[in-house]
Chains A and B, each alone.
Chain A
Amino acid sequence: GAVVSQHPSRVICKSGTSVKIECRSLDFQATTMFWYRQFPKQSLMLMATSNEGSKATYEQGVEKDKFLINHASLTLSTLTVTSAHPEDSSFYICSAPGLAGGYSYEQYFGPGTRLTVT
């Protein structure tokens, strides 16, 4: 149980275009999801907290107008990188706490999306 998927696994886009990444909880509901970014040989940096039915909460230094987050349902959060530039190339990973309505310390991570902006 507690599987999180991401789509696409890899995407290449041209500079200036937008790309959408989906994060889905497959067998549980997630009122909260988290988005992380990981540059090569670096750590996972929290970008934002995605909240179902309300606005996302962004970490300091993350441009909310550039990284649009929509938590459309209890199983889906999307991250849209708008006007992407080569410096946005990174590994984007989402996670979700265990069970909505329950008590959960652990988080379940998606497999990640490799974004390359040319």
Chain B
Amino acid sequence: NAGVTQTPKFRVLKTGQSMTLLCAQDMNHEYMYWYRQDPGMGLRLIHYSVGEGTTAKGEVPDGYNVSRLKKQNFLLGLESAAPSQTSVYFCASSYSYGLRNTGELFFGEGSRLTVL
């Protein structure tokens, strides 16, 4: 049972380079999220998606783009990486909220990105 899988786990980029983080989930969840986690701060939402073909901005969307072409995949792109984007990135997925669902998030293992 894979759950939520992120690739790559680690990456070092130079300023100005681009890259894509891939998130895949096998739980048939509608909702998917990209967070970043920095020391001393709570998880901050970058972008999220409430279903295939939809995306929305979160708290800190600048410098990032996302796509949700397939229900099971959620891609996070950095077009021109900056040192301020050095962080640990977590993908998560959840059922939609409702009487039967808590909306509990299932997280991937994280992707540690360093921008030099």
Partners in one complex: no
Which residues of B line the A interface, CB within 8 A? none
